[in-house]
Amino acid sequence: MENENIRKELVVSAIENGSVIDHIPAKSVFRVVKMLNLEDTDTQVTVGFNLESRKYGRKGIIKVSNKYFENEEVNKIALVAPTATLIVIKDYKVTEKRNVKIPDEISKIVKCVNPNCITNHQQVATRFTVIDKEDLKLQCHYCEKITGKNNIDII
């Protein structure tokens, strides 16, 4: 019985300080990486993709050393990965763990889908009211056009 002692999983190294974004829908992992500009960072980033999850079937995880996300970045994560959990690590210990939440209002994150909207022609920051958090629908403050989750273009 040689095979009895074979480990069944590979463990990704722990981070001393930084953030972990867990429970990302598998199809959204690389969108989160791009949206947060993690490909341009000088710090260590570990990405897990299509990992098994009892709750979601398949999930993704992103570990970023020495990085703590600002509220605006967390709001971006919530838009494309509403099931995500944000974990803050300090000295190898979890100091905070919270589910991301879609805010009631979103500013400077999403582009308006209306080509005639003032935000697409002048230096006006976009602003949306979230009118449906389940199916993700955003209404532009300026032109009142509704953007559905399939048409969201993150700035």
In b/e form, how buried is each residue of 114-133, taking b as 16+ CB within 10 angstroms?
Answer: beebebeeeeeebbbebeee
Can you give the pLDDT at residue 1?
Answer: 44
Whole-angstrom distance, CA of residue 126 vs CA of residue 154: 11
| Average pLDDT over the chain, rounded to an integer | 89
In whole angstroms, what is the distance from residue 151 CA to residue 148 CA? 6
Q: 111-133: per-residue pLDDT in tens?
A: 999 999 999 999 999 999 999 99
Judging by DSSP bridges, how do beta strands 146-148 and 137-140 pair with one another?
Answer: antiparallel
Condensed to tens digits (0 to 9), the pLDDT of residues 24-60 reads 999 899 989 988 999 999 999 999 988 887 877 889 9
Q: Please give the helix or strand (H or E) that residue 130 lies within, else none.
A: strand 127-132
Task: Return the amino acid letter for 10.
Answer: L
Backbone angles phi, psi at 63, to 5 degrees: -115, 130
Distance, in Å, from the CA atom of 146 to the CA atom of 155, rounded to the nearest integer, reads: 17
Task: Encode 3-42: b = buried (16+ Cβ within 10 Å), e = exposed.
Answer: eeeeeeeeeeeebebbbbbbbbbbebbbbbbebbebeeee
- CA distances (Å), 141 to each of 95, 144, 146, in order? 37, 6, 10
- Greater confidence, 109 or 145? 145
Q: CB atoms < 10 A from the CB of 67, how many?
A: 17
> Please, how many CA atoms are within 13 Å of residue 14, restricted to the half-sphere of its CB?
9
